[in-house]
Amino acid sequence: MKYFHLIWAALFRRKTRTILTLVSIVAAFLLFGMLDAVRTSFDQAGQSANGAERLQTGSRLSFIQTLPQALETQIAKVPGVKMVTYANWFGGAYQDPHNQVFSFAVAPNYLDAYPEIEVDPAQRKAFDDTRTGALVGETLAQRFHWKVGDKIPLQSTIFPDKSGNKTWTFDIVGIMHAKDKKSAGFYDQMFLLHWKYFDETTPYNRGTVGWYVTRVADVNQADRVARAIDALSANSDHETRTQTEQAATANWMKQLADIGLIVGSIMGAVFFTLLLLSGNTMMQAVRERTSELAVLKTIGFSSRSVLAMVLAESVLLLLIGGVLGLGLAAVLIPGVSAHSGGMLNLPTVGAGSWVLGLVLMVLIGLLVGALPAVRAMRLNIVDALAGR
Protein backbone atom coordinates (compact mmCIF):
# COMPACT_ATOMS: atom_id res chain seq x y z
CA MET A 1 0.00 0.00 0.00
CA LYS A 2 2.80 2.40 0.76
CA TYR A 3 3.81 2.32 -2.90
CA PHE A 4 0.34 3.32 -4.02
CA HIS A 5 1.32 6.82 -5.07
CA LEU A 6 4.18 5.38 -7.10
CA ILE A 7 1.86 3.00 -8.92
CA TRP A 8 -0.67 5.78 -9.44
CA ALA A 9 1.97 8.10 -10.86
CA ALA A 10 3.20 5.37 -13.20
CA LEU A 11 -0.33 4.71 -14.37
CA PHE A 12 -0.96 8.32 -15.33
CA ARG A 13 2.50 8.95 -16.72
CA ARG A 14 0.99 9.20 -20.16
CA LYS A 15 -2.47 10.56 -19.58
CA THR A 16 -3.79 10.22 -23.14
CA ARG A 17 -2.83 6.59 -23.44
CA THR A 18 -4.20 5.65 -20.05
CA ILE A 19 -7.45 7.47 -20.60
CA LEU A 20 -7.95 5.97 -24.07
CA THR A 21 -7.32 2.53 -22.66
CA LEU A 22 -9.65 3.24 -19.77
CA VAL A 23 -12.48 4.15 -22.14
CA SER A 24 -12.07 0.82 -23.90
CA ILE A 25 -12.17 -0.99 -20.57
CA VAL A 26 -15.21 1.01 -19.50
CA ALA A 27 -16.98 0.04 -22.75
CA ALA A 28 -16.15 -3.63 -22.24
CA PHE A 29 -17.45 -3.71 -18.68
CA LEU A 30 -20.50 -1.62 -19.56
CA LEU A 31 -21.38 -4.31 -22.06
CA PHE A 32 -20.61 -6.99 -19.50
CA GLY A 33 -22.90 -5.30 -16.95
CA MET A 34 -25.79 -5.02 -19.39
CA LEU A 35 -25.49 -8.50 -20.84
CA ASP A 36 -25.10 -10.03 -17.42
CA ALA A 37 -28.28 -8.24 -16.36
CA VAL A 38 -30.07 -9.85 -19.30
CA ARG A 39 -28.65 -13.23 -18.37
CA THR A 40 -29.63 -12.87 -14.71
CA SER A 41 -33.11 -11.75 -15.59
CA PHE A 42 -33.46 -14.97 -17.58
CA ASP A 43 -31.92 -17.08 -14.84
CA GLN A 44 -33.78 -15.56 -11.95
CA ALA A 45 -37.19 -15.48 -13.57
CA GLY A 46 -39.65 -17.14 -11.24
CA GLN A 47 -37.13 -17.73 -8.50
CA SER A 48 -38.55 -16.28 -5.34
CA ALA A 49 -39.57 -17.68 -1.98
CA ASN A 50 -43.22 -17.16 -2.85
CA GLY A 51 -42.72 -18.69 -6.27
CA ALA A 52 -41.27 -21.83 -4.69
CA GLU A 53 -44.52 -22.60 -2.89
CA ARG A 54 -46.71 -22.05 -5.92
CA LEU A 55 -47.52 -24.84 -8.33
CA GLN A 56 -48.87 -24.31 -11.81
CA THR A 57 -51.21 -26.89 -13.26
CA GLY A 58 -51.88 -26.77 -16.97
CA SER A 59 -53.10 -29.20 -19.58
CA ARG A 60 -50.63 -31.95 -20.26
CA LEU A 61 -51.50 -31.73 -23.95
CA SER A 62 -50.32 -28.15 -24.41
CA PHE A 63 -50.42 -24.78 -22.78
CA ILE A 64 -53.24 -23.56 -25.01
CA GLN A 65 -55.58 -26.34 -23.97
CA THR A 66 -58.06 -25.43 -21.23
CA LEU A 67 -59.14 -27.50 -18.20
CA PRO A 68 -62.60 -28.00 -16.67
CA GLN A 69 -63.43 -25.67 -13.81
CA ALA A 70 -64.63 -28.64 -11.76
CA LEU A 71 -61.01 -29.51 -11.00
CA GLU A 72 -60.85 -26.62 -8.55
CA THR A 73 -62.72 -28.36 -5.75
CA GLN A 74 -60.81 -31.58 -6.36
CA ILE A 75 -57.43 -29.86 -6.17
CA ALA A 76 -58.45 -28.02 -3.03
CA LYS A 77 -59.02 -31.40 -1.33
CA VAL A 78 -55.50 -32.70 -2.05
CA PRO A 79 -53.62 -32.91 1.26
CA GLY A 80 -50.94 -30.22 1.57
CA VAL A 81 -52.75 -27.69 -0.61
CA LYS A 82 -53.19 -24.36 1.18
CA MET A 83 -55.26 -22.68 -1.50
CA VAL A 84 -56.05 -22.98 -5.18
CA THR A 85 -56.96 -20.36 -7.73
CA TYR A 86 -57.15 -20.17 -11.50
CA ALA A 87 -56.76 -17.89 -14.46
CA ASN A 88 -57.24 -17.71 -18.21
CA TRP A 89 -55.19 -15.99 -20.85
CA PHE A 90 -57.19 -13.06 -22.22
CA GLY A 91 -54.81 -11.91 -24.97
CA GLY A 92 -55.61 -8.24 -24.63
CA ALA A 93 -54.21 -5.39 -26.68
CA TYR A 94 -54.77 -1.68 -26.23
CA GLN A 95 -55.67 0.48 -29.24
CA ASP A 96 -53.24 -1.26 -31.60
CA PRO A 97 -52.97 -5.07 -31.78
CA HIS A 98 -49.22 -4.55 -31.38
CA ASN A 99 -49.66 -3.04 -27.91
CA GLN A 100 -50.01 -6.42 -26.26
CA VAL A 101 -51.01 -6.37 -22.62
CA PHE A 102 -50.39 -9.28 -20.23
CA SER A 103 -54.04 -9.69 -19.38
CA PHE A 104 -55.57 -12.54 -17.40
CA ALA A 105 -59.10 -13.40 -16.45
CA VAL A 106 -58.74 -14.52 -12.84
CA ALA A 107 -60.69 -16.13 -10.03
CA PRO A 108 -61.80 -13.86 -7.14
CA ASN A 109 -59.06 -15.24 -4.85
CA TYR A 110 -56.26 -15.01 -7.42
CA LEU A 111 -54.41 -12.22 -5.66
CA ASP A 112 -54.36 -14.19 -2.40
CA ALA A 113 -51.94 -16.59 -4.07
CA TYR A 114 -49.57 -13.71 -4.78
CA PRO A 115 -48.78 -12.00 -1.47
CA GLU A 116 -45.94 -10.15 -3.19
CA ILE A 117 -48.45 -8.04 -5.11
CA GLU A 118 -49.75 -5.12 -3.13
CA VAL A 119 -53.20 -3.65 -3.70
CA ASP A 120 -54.85 -1.02 -1.57
CA PRO A 121 -57.60 -2.82 0.47
CA ALA A 122 -60.26 -0.33 -0.66
CA GLN A 123 -59.27 -0.87 -4.30
CA ARG A 124 -59.25 -4.62 -3.80
CA LYS A 125 -62.78 -4.36 -2.41
CA ALA A 126 -63.82 -2.25 -5.39
CA PHE A 127 -62.42 -4.92 -7.70
CA ASP A 128 -64.36 -7.65 -5.91
CA ASP A 129 -67.56 -5.61 -6.21
CA THR A 130 -67.26 -4.46 -9.81
CA ARG A 131 -68.18 -7.01 -12.48
CA THR A 132 -66.30 -5.19 -15.21
CA GLY A 133 -63.54 -4.05 -12.88
CA ALA A 134 -59.87 -4.42 -13.67
CA LEU A 135 -56.66 -4.15 -11.68
CA VAL A 136 -53.63 -2.90 -13.56
CA GLY A 137 -49.94 -2.96 -12.74
CA GLU A 138 -48.13 0.24 -11.93
CA THR A 139 -45.90 0.28 -15.02
CA LEU A 140 -48.74 -0.63 -17.33
CA ALA A 141 -50.88 2.20 -15.95
CA GLN A 142 -48.03 4.63 -16.52
CA ARG A 143 -47.43 3.33 -20.03
CA PHE A 144 -50.97 4.08 -21.20
CA HIS A 145 -51.67 6.94 -18.74
CA TRP A 146 -54.49 5.08 -17.05
CA LYS A 147 -55.78 6.07 -13.64
CA VAL A 148 -58.32 4.66 -11.22
CA GLY A 149 -61.83 5.50 -12.40
CA ASP A 150 -60.99 5.33 -16.13
CA LYS A 151 -63.18 3.31 -18.46
CA ILE A 152 -60.95 1.78 -21.09
CA PRO A 153 -61.53 -0.35 -24.18
CA LEU A 154 -59.32 -3.39 -24.51
CA GLN A 155 -59.47 -5.64 -27.51
CA SER A 156 -58.94 -9.34 -27.10
CA THR A 157 -56.97 -11.05 -29.83
CA ILE A 158 -58.57 -14.37 -28.87
CA PHE A 159 -62.03 -13.88 -27.43
CA PRO A 160 -64.88 -11.91 -29.01
CA ASP A 161 -68.12 -11.48 -27.04
CA LYS A 162 -71.42 -13.13 -28.02
CA SER A 163 -72.12 -10.71 -30.86
CA GLY A 164 -68.62 -11.14 -32.28
CA ASN A 165 -67.45 -7.82 -30.96
CA LYS A 166 -63.77 -7.95 -30.07
CA THR A 167 -63.52 -4.80 -27.93
CA TRP A 168 -64.22 -5.16 -24.22
CA THR A 169 -64.76 -2.28 -21.83
CA PHE A 170 -63.27 -2.32 -18.35
CA ASP A 171 -63.38 -0.02 -15.36
CA ILE A 172 -60.01 0.46 -13.80
CA VAL A 173 -60.62 0.15 -10.08
CA GLY A 174 -57.13 -0.28 -8.69
CA ILE A 175 -53.40 -0.30 -9.23
CA MET A 176 -51.11 -3.21 -8.34
CA HIS A 177 -47.62 -2.65 -6.97
CA ALA A 178 -45.00 -5.36 -6.69
CA LYS A 179 -43.45 -5.39 -3.23
CA ASP A 180 -40.11 -6.61 -4.43
CA LYS A 181 -38.96 -4.32 -7.20
CA LYS A 182 -36.45 -6.86 -8.44
CA SER A 183 -39.10 -9.14 -9.83
CA ALA A 184 -41.48 -6.25 -10.40
CA GLY A 185 -41.09 -6.50 -14.15
CA PHE A 186 -43.91 -8.88 -14.77
CA TYR A 187 -46.39 -8.04 -12.01
CA ASP A 188 -46.28 -4.33 -12.74
CA GLN A 189 -47.25 -5.09 -16.34
CA MET A 190 -50.27 -7.22 -15.55
CA PHE A 191 -53.90 -6.54 -16.26
CA LEU A 192 -56.40 -8.59 -14.23
CA LEU A 193 -60.10 -8.96 -14.99
CA HIS A 194 -62.80 -11.18 -13.52
CA TRP A 195 -62.94 -14.73 -14.86
CA LYS A 196 -66.70 -14.80 -14.24
CA TYR A 197 -67.34 -11.73 -16.37
CA PHE A 198 -65.04 -13.13 -19.02
CA ASP A 199 -66.68 -16.56 -19.06
CA GLU A 200 -70.19 -15.13 -19.22
CA THR A 201 -69.38 -12.72 -22.02
CA THR A 202 -67.46 -14.83 -24.51
CA PRO A 203 -69.06 -17.86 -26.15
CA TYR A 204 -65.65 -19.46 -26.66
CA ASN A 205 -64.66 -20.27 -23.10
CA ARG A 206 -67.59 -22.37 -21.85
CA GLY A 207 -66.59 -22.63 -18.22
CA THR A 208 -63.03 -23.67 -18.71
CA VAL A 209 -59.86 -22.57 -17.00
CA GLY A 210 -56.44 -21.93 -18.54
CA TRP A 211 -54.38 -23.01 -15.58
CA TYR A 212 -54.60 -23.52 -11.85
CA VAL A 213 -52.23 -21.97 -9.33
CA THR A 214 -51.88 -23.87 -6.10
CA ARG A 215 -50.09 -22.78 -2.95
CA VAL A 216 -48.67 -25.61 -0.92
CA ALA A 217 -48.46 -25.53 2.86
CA ASP A 218 -44.93 -26.92 2.92
CA VAL A 219 -42.40 -26.23 0.18
CA ASN A 220 -40.71 -29.59 0.76
CA GLN A 221 -43.96 -31.33 -0.08
CA ALA A 222 -44.31 -29.53 -3.42
CA ASP A 223 -43.30 -32.53 -5.53
CA ARG A 224 -45.66 -34.86 -3.75
CA VAL A 225 -48.56 -32.42 -4.06
CA ALA A 226 -47.80 -31.90 -7.77
CA ARG A 227 -47.95 -35.63 -8.39
CA ALA A 228 -51.18 -35.91 -6.39
CA ILE A 229 -52.79 -33.14 -8.47
CA ASP A 230 -51.79 -34.80 -11.73
CA ALA A 231 -53.13 -38.12 -10.47
CA LEU A 232 -56.61 -36.56 -10.19
CA SER A 233 -57.02 -36.42 -13.93
CA ALA A 234 -54.82 -39.31 -15.00
CA ASN A 235 -56.22 -41.21 -17.99
CA SER A 236 -59.02 -38.70 -18.46
CA ASP A 237 -59.36 -36.58 -21.58
CA HIS A 238 -57.92 -33.60 -19.72
CA GLU A 239 -54.71 -34.84 -18.16
CA THR A 240 -52.76 -32.18 -16.31
CA ARG A 241 -49.14 -31.38 -15.79
CA THR A 242 -48.11 -29.64 -12.59
CA GLN A 243 -44.81 -27.88 -12.08
CA THR A 244 -43.44 -25.44 -9.55
CA GLU A 245 -43.59 -21.87 -10.79
CA GLN A 246 -39.78 -21.89 -10.88
CA ALA A 247 -39.56 -24.92 -13.13
CA ALA A 248 -42.31 -23.68 -15.41
CA THR A 249 -40.70 -20.27 -15.90
CA ALA A 250 -37.24 -21.72 -16.37
CA ASN A 251 -38.67 -23.99 -19.03
CA TRP A 252 -40.19 -21.06 -20.92
CA MET A 253 -37.02 -19.05 -20.76
CA LYS A 254 -35.05 -21.99 -22.04
CA GLN A 255 -37.35 -22.34 -25.01
CA LEU A 256 -37.18 -18.63 -25.73
CA ALA A 257 -33.45 -18.55 -26.25
CA ASP A 258 -30.21 -20.06 -25.10
CA ILE A 259 -29.27 -16.72 -23.65
CA GLY A 260 -26.28 -18.06 -21.73
CA LEU A 261 -24.63 -19.17 -24.96
CA ILE A 262 -25.24 -15.85 -26.73
CA VAL A 263 -24.03 -13.73 -23.82
CA GLY A 264 -21.09 -16.08 -23.27
CA SER A 265 -19.85 -15.86 -26.84
CA ILE A 266 -20.21 -12.09 -27.05
CA MET A 267 -18.34 -11.60 -23.80
CA GLY A 268 -15.67 -14.05 -24.94
CA ALA A 269 -15.03 -11.93 -28.02
CA VAL A 270 -15.07 -8.72 -25.98
CA PHE A 271 -12.67 -9.88 -23.29
CA PHE A 272 -10.28 -11.43 -25.76
CA THR A 273 -10.03 -8.10 -27.53
CA LEU A 274 -9.71 -6.28 -24.22
CA LEU A 275 -6.88 -8.58 -23.18
CA LEU A 276 -4.96 -7.70 -26.29
CA LEU A 277 -5.69 -4.02 -26.05
CA SER A 278 -4.76 -3.41 -22.45
CA GLY A 279 -1.87 -5.86 -22.81
CA ASN A 280 -0.51 -3.66 -25.56
CA THR A 281 -0.86 -0.59 -23.36
CA MET A 282 0.99 -2.22 -20.49
CA MET A 283 3.77 -3.42 -22.81
CA GLN A 284 4.24 0.11 -24.08
CA ALA A 285 4.13 1.52 -20.57
CA VAL A 286 6.85 -0.79 -19.31
CA ARG A 287 8.98 -0.45 -22.42
CA GLU A 288 9.21 3.31 -22.20
CA ARG A 289 9.93 3.19 -18.46
CA THR A 290 12.83 0.78 -18.75
CA SER A 291 15.36 3.23 -17.38
CA GLU A 292 13.06 4.35 -14.55
CA LEU A 293 12.56 0.77 -13.50
CA ALA A 294 16.31 0.28 -13.57
CA VAL A 295 16.72 3.27 -11.27
CA LEU A 296 14.16 1.79 -8.88
CA LYS A 297 16.17 -1.40 -8.81
CA THR A 298 19.40 0.50 -8.30
CA ILE A 299 18.10 2.26 -5.22
CA GLY A 300 17.18 -1.03 -3.66
CA PHE A 301 13.78 -2.25 -4.87
CA SER A 302 13.88 -6.02 -5.14
CA SER A 303 13.04 -7.70 -8.44
CA ARG A 304 9.96 -9.13 -6.83
CA SER A 305 8.60 -5.77 -5.70
CA VAL A 306 9.12 -4.39 -9.21
CA LEU A 307 7.12 -7.34 -10.50
CA ALA A 308 4.40 -6.68 -7.94
CA MET A 309 4.27 -2.99 -8.80
CA VAL A 310 3.79 -3.57 -12.52
CA LEU A 311 1.14 -6.18 -11.81
CA ALA A 312 -0.59 -3.84 -9.39
CA GLU A 313 -0.54 -1.13 -12.03
CA SER A 314 -2.32 -3.27 -14.60
CA VAL A 315 -4.84 -4.58 -12.07
CA LEU A 316 -5.51 -1.01 -10.97
CA LEU A 317 -6.03 0.04 -14.58
CA LEU A 318 -8.58 -2.72 -15.08
CA LEU A 319 -10.27 -2.02 -11.76
CA ILE A 320 -10.73 1.69 -12.44
CA GLY A 321 -12.12 1.06 -15.91
CA GLY A 322 -14.17 -1.93 -14.86
CA VAL A 323 -15.79 -0.30 -11.85
CA LEU A 324 -16.61 2.78 -13.93
CA GLY A 325 -18.10 0.57 -16.64
CA LEU A 326 -20.20 -1.51 -14.28
CA GLY A 327 -21.30 1.63 -12.46
CA LEU A 328 -22.32 3.15 -15.77
CA ALA A 329 -24.29 0.01 -16.56
CA ALA A 330 -26.04 0.26 -13.19
CA VAL A 331 -26.99 3.85 -13.99
CA LEU A 332 -28.08 3.15 -17.58
CA ILE A 333 -30.09 -0.03 -17.14
CA PRO A 334 -33.10 1.49 -15.32
CA GLY A 335 -33.26 4.11 -18.08
CA VAL A 336 -33.18 1.45 -20.79
CA SER A 337 -35.95 -0.50 -19.08
CA ALA A 338 -38.05 2.62 -18.68
CA HIS A 339 -37.69 3.64 -22.31
CA SER A 340 -38.34 0.24 -23.84
CA GLY A 341 -42.09 0.69 -23.27
CA GLY A 342 -42.37 -2.46 -21.23
CA MET A 343 -40.53 -4.66 -23.73
CA LEU A 344 -37.49 -5.05 -21.52
CA ASN A 345 -37.33 -5.33 -17.80
CA LEU A 346 -33.81 -5.73 -16.63
CA PRO A 347 -32.75 -5.99 -13.03
CA THR A 348 -29.98 -3.56 -12.26
CA VAL A 349 -26.43 -4.83 -11.83
CA GLY A 350 -26.75 -7.28 -8.95
CA ALA A 351 -24.27 -8.39 -6.33
CA GLY A 352 -23.54 -11.50 -8.36
CA SER A 353 -22.60 -9.46 -11.43
CA TRP A 354 -20.40 -7.18 -9.34
CA VAL A 355 -18.51 -10.12 -7.83
CA LEU A 356 -18.11 -11.81 -11.19
CA GLY A 357 -17.07 -8.49 -12.72
CA LEU A 358 -14.47 -7.77 -10.02
CA VAL A 359 -13.02 -11.26 -10.34
CA LEU A 360 -12.77 -10.77 -14.10
CA MET A 361 -11.09 -7.39 -13.66
CA VAL A 362 -8.42 -8.78 -11.34
CA LEU A 363 -7.91 -11.85 -13.53
CA ILE A 364 -7.58 -9.87 -16.74
CA GLY A 365 -5.36 -7.36 -14.94
CA LEU A 366 -3.03 -10.12 -13.78
CA LEU A 367 -2.98 -11.78 -17.19
CA VAL A 368 -2.33 -8.51 -18.96
CA GLY A 369 0.35 -7.46 -16.51
CA ALA A 370 2.14 -10.81 -16.40
CA LEU A 371 4.36 -10.45 -19.45
CA PRO A 372 5.48 -6.83 -18.88
CA ALA A 373 5.92 -7.52 -15.18
CA VAL A 374 8.21 -10.47 -15.79
CA ARG A 375 10.12 -8.34 -18.24
CA ALA A 376 10.50 -5.63 -15.64
CA MET A 377 11.58 -8.17 -13.04
CA ARG A 378 14.28 -9.69 -15.26
CA LEU A 379 15.59 -6.25 -16.16
CA ASN A 380 19.36 -6.09 -16.01
CA ILE A 381 20.22 -2.79 -14.32
CA VAL A 382 23.42 -2.10 -16.20
CA ASP A 383 21.95 -2.86 -19.63
CA ALA A 384 18.81 -0.87 -18.92
CA LEU A 385 20.65 2.18 -17.71
CA ALA A 386 22.98 2.03 -20.66
CA GLY A 387 19.96 1.96 -22.96
CA ARG A 388 20.82 -1.40 -24.45
Partner 1 sequence: MKRFFINLGLLIALAVALAIWVRLQWPVVLALVVLGALWMAFTRHGRQAASVTGVGISTLRQRLGSSAVIVIGIAGVVGVLVALLAMGEGYSETLRKTGNVDTAIVMRGASASEVMSVLDHDSIVQIVQTPGIARDAKGQPLASPELVVAANLPMKGGSADDEGSVQLRGVGDEAWAVRPQVKIIEGRRFNPGMRELDVGKGAAQQFAGLVPGHQVRLGSQLWTVVGVFASGDAMDSEVWGDANVVSDTYRRGSSRASVVAKLANPQAFDAFKAALAANPQLKVDTDTTLAYYAKQSEGMSTVIRIMGITVGLIMAIGAMFGALNTMFAAVATRAREIATLRAIGFRGLPVVVAVMLETMLLALLGGVIGGALAWLVFNGYGASTLAAGTVGKLSFELAVTPALLWTGLKWALAIGFVGGLFPAVRAARLPVTTALREL
- Binding-site member from 59, 103, 189, 244 for partner 1 (CB under 8 A): 59
> Which residues touch 260 (CB under 8 Å, ≥6 apart)?
39, 42
Question: Is residue 70 a contact point for partner 1 (CB under 8 A)?
Answer: no
Q: What are phi and psi of 240, to 5 degrees?
A: -115, 165
Question: Is residue 324 a contact point for partner 1 (CB under 8 A)?
Answer: no
C-alpha to C-alpha distance for 345 and 142, rounded to whole angstroms? 15
Beta strand 211-216 with 54-59: parallel, antiparallel or unpaired?
antiparallel
Residue 218 identity (one-letter amino acid) = D
C-alpha to C-alpha distance for 282 and 272, rounded to whole angstroms? 15
Residue 133 is given by DSSP the state E
Residue 130 is given by DSSP the state -
Question: Is residue 12 a contact point for partner 1 (CB under 8 A)?
Answer: no
Are the beta carbons of 178 and 117 closer than 8 angstroms?
yes
C-alpha to C-alpha distance for 250 and 19, rounded to whole angstroms? 42
Give SS3 for 314.
helix
Question: Is residue 202 a contact point for partner 1 (CB under 8 A)?
Answer: no
In whole angstroms, how far apart are CA 183 and each of 12, 203, 333, 345?
Answer: 42, 35, 15, 9
Interaction residues for partner 1, span 348-377 (CB under 8 A): none
Report in angstroms how near the CB of residue 267 gets to partner 1 at its nearest.
Answer: 10
C-alpha to C-alpha distance for 36 and 330, rounded to whole angstroms? 11
- Binding-site member from 48, 65, 291, 345 for partner 1 (CB under 8 A): 65
C-alpha to C-alpha distance for 310 and 377, rounded to whole angstroms? 9
Residue with smaller CB distance to partner 1, 115 or 341? 341
Report in angstroms how near the CB of residue 349 gets to partner 1 at its nearest.
Answer: 15
> Which residues touch 187 (CB under 8 Å, ≥6 apart)?
114, 116, 117, 137, 176, 178
- Binding-site member from 266, 331, 338, 355 for partner 1 (CB under 8 A): 266
Residue with smaller CB distance to partner 1, 35 or 330? 35
Residue 98 is given by DSSP the state T
> What would the x/- binding string for partner 1 be over residues 72 to 111, using CB under 8 A?
-------------------x-x---xx-------------
Report in angstroms how near the CB of residue 240 gets to partner 1 at its nearest.
Answer: 10
Question: Is residue 60 a contact point for partner 1 (CB under 8 A)?
Answer: yes
- Binding-site member from 122, 257, 382, 386 for partner 1 (CB under 8 A): 257
Residue with smaller CB distance to partner 1, 26 or 117? 26
Residue with smaller CB distance to partner 1, 34 or 361? 34
Long-range contacts of the stretch 119-124 (C-beta < 8 A, 24+) = 119/174, 119/175, 119/176, 119/177, 120/174, 120/175, 123/148, 123/173, 123/174, 123/175, 124/174
User: Segment contacting partner 1 (CB under 8 A): 126-134, 170-178, 186-194, 277-285?
Assistant: 277-285
Residue 70 is given by DSSP the state T
Interaction residues for partner 1, span 208-227 (CB under 8 A): none
User: Segment contacting partner 1 (CB under 8 A): 149-157, 178-186, 293-301, 309-317?
Assistant: 149-157
Question: Is residue 331 a contact point for partner 1 (CB under 8 A)?
Answer: no
- 244 forms beta bridges with 55
Report in angstroms how near the CB of residue 89 gets to partner 1 at its nearest.
Answer: 9
Question: Is residue 164 a contact point for partner 1 (CB under 8 A)?
Answer: yes
Report in angstroms how near the CB of residue 243 gets to partner 1 at its nearest.
Answer: 8
**Comparing C-alpha atoms, which of 110, 73, 113 is closest to residue 195?**
110
User: Segment contacting partner 1 (CB under 8 A): 17-25, 74-82, 144-152, 300-308?
Assistant: 17-25
Question: Is residue 276 a contact point for partner 1 (CB under 8 A)?
Answer: yes
Residues lying near partner 1 in the complex (CB under 8 A) are found at: 16-17, 20-21, 23-25, 27-28, 30-31, 34-35, 59-65, 91, 93, 97-98, 155-158, 160, 164, 166, 204, 234-237, 239, 241, 251-252, 254-258, 265-266, 269-270, 272-274, 276-277, 280-281, 283-284, 343
